[in-house]
Structure 1
Amino acid sequence: MQQTAARPPASHADSAPRPPGPPARGRLWRVLGWVSIGMSAVLVVASLTAYGFWRRLDGQIDRENVDGKLGDDRPAKLNNSMNILLMGSDSRAGENARYGEEAGQRSDTTILLHISPGGEQAIGISFPRDSMVGIPPCKKPGGGSSPPQFGMINAAFSTGGPACTWRTIESLTKIHIDHFVEVDFSGFKRVVDALGGVEICVPRRIDDPKAELHLRKGRQIVHGDQALGYVRTRYVLGDGSDLDRIKRQQAFMASVVKKATDRGMLTDPGRTFAFLSAATKSIKADDRLTLSVMQKLAGGLRGMSAGKVRFVTVPVQPYPQDKNRVQFNQVLAEPLFRAVREDNKVPEPAPPAPVPAQGNGTRVPPVPPAQVRVAVYNATASTGLAQRTADQLAERGFQVVKVGSRKASSSAPTQILYGRGAERQAARLAIALPGHPPRAWAGGRPGYVYLVIGRDGAALRGLKRTLPSVTGEIRADADICGQT
């Protein structure tokens, strides 16, 4: 497992400590509207706690095992957020045959739903289907593997199904994804109907036989087929571009979230059950999205309101080789991806970390971060974790003298170790990284502190990246007629 150097000052390069030994054991398709279904289910379900009810819903979900399909070079999990990859299938099998024949199936637009720790906020990030990206090697559903390729992002789904799209989004954003949810045309309609319809706002009268769409001008409620036609149509609304359609579909999703979080829905058990039952019958998910995971997620989302939910599109720019395609604008996209990766809940104030006693039994305060020389080692299978943690520590003023790795262990916890004379320095690092009491290490260099990152990670206290505003973003509590 490779780690890059931490860019330490030249004066420390020759005296950088060697790694410590093993620590002690013990411790949419073209339809984006369906995405709101997954979001809404997560929001509404927070009010339901009966175990039997959960079990019944859980048994209705079609699940897929993706173990072994995501690769060994996945991004590290840096916080306690939840990232769910939401995908739509344009399959024409079964109930979807009425929408015409089309070989295979694709996910022409994909959403990454990020829920901040503690349910403080949520953001849905759309990836336009026309985006030209690098797609990593993927295992094919029928056996064998596909080679790395460069093409439209929706090719990942047709190549290797949900797991390949999952792997592709992780490789592009370096954001650790926890679960996936997939739905098709018929599932989308069932859920919209279970909600009692969804409010939209149309700038002019629409008659589109191809999309089976007939709408009057202005604010109105749409159900099954009309809702599906509204989010599918491309040329009778807007400028005909995929980006313009995404904006309209995000407004639709925002309307669903607003309705799903309405007190009338939340306080009516019959309506809530009908909605969640339709949703669970309509989705496919990974087999790690278990009953206990859903219950835990629901518990953390109590109090989520429409005002805390927004939808954005990954910043893109024209693809030079083809005017009908786009590519990520990395200058604008990377700050968004980084904020999601490092979105940590600000913890409650805690008492200062215990300062190790000196030889005479007295305790002294910790030193400033600038006086702490720390070596950071990654003892997990997540590549790049030590370097990212080292960068965060450097931003706080710590002297990072080395970044490296040691043999990964699935059971070893994160540890703060220190050499002779570095008690106060270790105490300062323990304040920045709560929950890891420092301990002396006889093999450590005098004056040095060692951070060995284990199974419980290294979340810095109070480090909170504000999720940046993105041009054109849509809030779920905004007026629907002001967003279309």
Structure 2
Amino acid sequence: MSSNPMYMEYVDDADYGEQSPPARRRSWRILGWVSIALSVLMVATSLTAYAGYRKLNGNITHEDVDAAVGPRPKKLNTALNILLLGSDTRSGDNAKYGRAMKNEPARADTTILLHLSPGGTGAVGISFPRDLMVPRPSCKRKDGTRTAPASVAMINEAFTWGGATCTIATIEALTNIKIDHFAQVDFAGFKGIVNAMGGVPICLPKDVSDPQAKLYLKRGRHNVKGEQALAYVRSRKGLGNGSDLDRIKRQQQFLGSVANKALSGGVLGNPVKLTSLLNAGTKSLTTDKALSIGVMRQIAGSMQGMTAGKLRFVTVPNGAYAPDPNRVALAQPAANDFFAAIRADREIKEEPKKSTSAPKVPASQVRVRVYNGTSIQGHAQRYAEQLQGQGFQVVTVGTAPQPVNATKVLYGAGADQQAATLTGVLTGASVTAKPRQGGTPGVVDLIIGPDLSAVKRKATSIPKLQGEIRANQNICKQA
């Protein structure tokens, strides 16, 4: 393999039949899972009573990144954003996973932004696909030198060029979200973390026989540990369709199982398991200088209301990248709307107002067909994504039979309240819902005119994204 830092082929995508040390072909897609496990502890429990406090603090490697990142976005609230990174470094205990790669630059293959809403009201782990094409700024390295000039590149190349500092700068520029802390891990402690938890539950939709990953399991529930857990998270051809996005979904389900087990008391309520987990996790952890065990304890104290049902995992809204079908790009305006919601997140303190009017049907129960009645290409898809971000069920996206001068909302039999819910989130026009002769029962039609501006976004909550995973969901239902 080339020593060029921009050689971005992936070890787990290589030919497993090639003669090489067996460990070298182990996937590093488990990177970041130690971070997630530790982050779960941060948001779920206090470490005050932990006798090995000083030992834990000594285990962690700290890195000063604040001065190197440069101008930072403005903080709008007391929410916390922690960037979780995975490094495939072969230094130290990681050398056994590929000695031939010992002197090659480390790469990042897991990038998750963990957003913690104030007061334990919610948390969301936001995955950035490794193949996401983004603007990468010129960054300052730890030795004071600067990286190559700014360019458009895969998001994980930022780590290769300039480590955590460059990744923070890249994501902050992309999202305008202030990152408060970062946690970076390697894969040396992965098996120890899983074993310390007593294994992690998974559910397979079918039998798996993957000789490349050495994974042989029957369909259904399993509690995986050690090598078996490592095989599960690195399997490429044996599970799913082999795409990066499909594998992210499976990883998020695994992380949900980790979080659910920890938060349900399976780990946090067992002092022996907790001690073992903390020791294993902190040995492979690098953070910013400010994220000490003491700060983690303070964060934990402020998140006492966290439950598994409040923790969800999403992937940034994305779509095709026109110049290269093997890459993806942010889907707009859905991505920017989502980032804006994360920035503006704040605890809702006021009591909900009582209403004497008939309750509206929630967006999740509204089926919408979106039609473009303008000459603007892609308009229907853009509005469909915005509505999906608010929880609406978009069942059809298409073009209206003929252009319209004004936006229309039409509904079939029995969908009058669903139509009222839809009109309530439309801005830029005075839209009136009208019954449609012969319309599909229970379905609302949105015919977009040139007067429609945007879908309203709730400033006090983070919208749902299609395909998100909650930590307390049935793992077999997700599989």
**Which one-letter code corresponds to 1:476 in the other structure?**
A
**Which one-letter code corresponds to 1:140 in the other structure?**
R
Contact between 1:38 and 1:86, CA under 8 Å: does it hold in 2?
A: no
Which residue is 2:470 aligned to?
A: 475
TM-aligned CA distance change 1:134 to 1:79, over 3 Å: same
- Cα distance, 1:209 vs. partner? 3.5
**Which one-letter code corresponds to 2:96 in the other structure?**
R
Return the alpha-carbon distance in structure 2 between the equivalents of residues 250 and 70 of structure 1. Answer: 29
Provide structure 1 residue ranges, at least 5 long, that are not aligned to the other structure. 1-27, 350-462
Contact between 2:79 and 2:345, CA under 8 Å: does it hold in 1?
A: yes
TM-aligned CA distance change 1:136 to 1:223, over 3 Å: same
- Cα distance, 1:263 vs. partner? 2.6
- Cα distance, 1:51 vs. partner? 6.9
TM-aligned CA distance change 1:293 to 1:109, over 3 Å: same
Which residue is 1:65 aligned to?
A: 64
SS in 1 for 2:463: coil
1:91 to 89, 92, 96: 89
Matches within 5 A, 1:70-469: 70-72=69-71, 74-100=72-98, 101-102=100-101, 103-146=104-147, 147-347=149-349, 464-469=459-464
Return the alpha-carbon distance in structure 1 between the equivalents of residues 141 and 237 of structure 2. Answer: 34
- Cα distance, 1:52 vs. partner? 4.7
| Structure 1 stretch displaced more, 130-139 or 225-234 | 225-234
| Structure 1 stretch displaced more, 224-233 or 148-157 | 224-233
SS in 1 for 2:301: helix
Which residue is 2:386 aligned to?
A: none
Which residue is 1:36 aligned to?
A: 36
**Cα displacement string for residues 96-153 of structure 1 (whole angstroms, at most 9, x for unaligned residues):** 2333333221112300000001111000000000001110111124441012121111
Contact between 1:192 and 1:227, CA under 8 Å: does it hold in 2?
A: yes
Return the alpha-carbon distance in structure 2 between the equivalents of residues 293 and 48 of structure 1. Answer: 10
**Which one-letter code corresponds to 1:93 in the other structure?**
S
**Cα displacement string for residues 368-397 of structure 1 (whole angstroms, at most 9, x for unaligned residues):** xxxxxxxxxxxxxxxxxxxxxxxxxxxxxx
Return the alpha-carbon distance in structure 2 between the equivalents of residues 88 and 201 of structure 1. Answer: 25
- Cα distance, 1:275 vs. partner? 1.6
- Cα distance, 1:334 vs. partner? 1.3
Task: Point out 4+ residue stretches in structure 1 off by more than 4 angstroms.
Answer: none
SS in 2 for 1:320: coil
- Cα distance, 1:292 vs. partner? 3.2
Return the alpha-carbon distance in structure 2 between the equivalents of residues 218 and 80 of structure 1. Answer: 42
Contact between 1:38 and 1:181, CA under 8 Å: does it hold in 2?
A: no
Contact between 1:345 and 1:464, CA under 8 Å: does it hold in 2?
A: no
Return the alpha-carbon distance in structure 1 between the equivalents of residues 334 and 150 of structure 2. Answer: 26
Provide structure 2 residue ranges, at least 5 long, that are not aligned to the other structure. 1-26, 352-457
| Structure 1 stretch displaced more, 166-175 or 231-240 | 231-240
SS in 1 for 2:304: coil
Of structures 1 and 2, the one with the larger relative CO (CA 8 A, separation 6+) is 1
Return the alpha-carbon distance in structure 2 between the equivalents of residues 257 and 119 of structure 1. Answer: 14
Return the alpha-carbon distance in structure 2 between the equivalents of residues 110 and 465 of structure 1. Answer: 26
**Which one-letter code corresponds to 1:166 in the other structure?**
I
**Which one-letter code corresponds to 1:472 in the other structure?**
G
Which residue is 1:434 aligned to?
A: none
Return the alpha-carbon distance in structure 2 between the equivalents of residues 70 and 198 of structure 1. Answer: 36
SS in 1 for 2:113: strand
**Which one-letter code corresponds to 1:256 in the other structure?**
V
Return the alpha-carbon distance in structure 2 between the equivalents of residues 318 and 250 of structure 1. Answer: 21
SS in 2 for 1:221: strand
Return the alpha-carbon distance in structure 1 between the equivalents of residues 238 and 268 of structure 2. Answer: 36
SS in 2 for 1:59: helix
**Which one-letter code corresponds to 2:75 in the other structure?**
K
Which residue is 2:55 aligned to?
A: 56
**Cα displacement string for residues 331-351 of structure 1 (whole angstroms, at most 9, x for unaligned residues):** 1111211111011112368xx
| TM-score normalised per structure 2 | 0.68
**Which one-letter code corresponds to 1:227 in the other structure?**
A
**Cα displacement string for residues 79-106 of structure 1 (whole angstroms, at most 9, x for unaligned residues):** 1011000011112223323333332211
- Cα distance, 1:324 vs. partner? 0.5
Which residue is 2:403 aligned to?
A: none
**Which one-letter code corresponds to 1:86 in the other structure?**
L
Return the alpha-carbon distance in structure 2 between the equivalents of residues 266 and 312 of structure 1. Answer: 25
**Cα displacement string for residues 189-212 of structure 1 (whole angstroms, at most 9, x for unaligned residues):** 221111111011112222333333
**Cα displacement string for residues 56-88 of structure 1 (whole angstroms, at most 9, x for unaligned residues):** 32221111111321112x110111011000011
SS in 2 for 1:151: strand
Contact between 2:132 and 2:327, CA under 8 Å: does it hold in 1?
A: yes
Return the alpha-carbon distance in structure 1 between the equivalents of residues 275 and 246 of structure 2. Answer: 34
Return the alpha-carbon distance in structure 1 between the equivalents of residues 204 and 280 of structure 2. Answer: 27
**Which one-letter code corresponds to 1:106 in the other structure?**
R
Contact between 2:141 and 2:165, CA under 8 Å: does it hold in 1?
A: no
| TM-score normalised per structure 1 | 0.67
Return the alpha-carbon distance in structure 2 between the equivalents of residues 284 and 177 of structure 1. Answer: 16
Contact between 2:256 and 2:471, CA under 8 Å: does it hold in 1?
A: yes
SS in 2 for 1:145: coil
Q: Would you say how many aligned residue pairs link Structure 1 and Structure 2?
A: 342
Q: What value does the CA root-mean-square deviation take over the aligned residues?
A: 1.9
SS in 1 for 2:283: helix
Contact between 1:41 and 1:279, CA under 8 Å: does it hold in 2?
A: no
TM-aligned CA distance change 1:220 to 1:104, over 3 Å: same
**Cα displacement string for residues 409-456 of structure 1 (whole angstroms, at most 9, x for unaligned residues):** xxxxxxxxxxxxxxxxxxxxxxxxxxxxxxxxxxxxxxxxxxxxxxxx
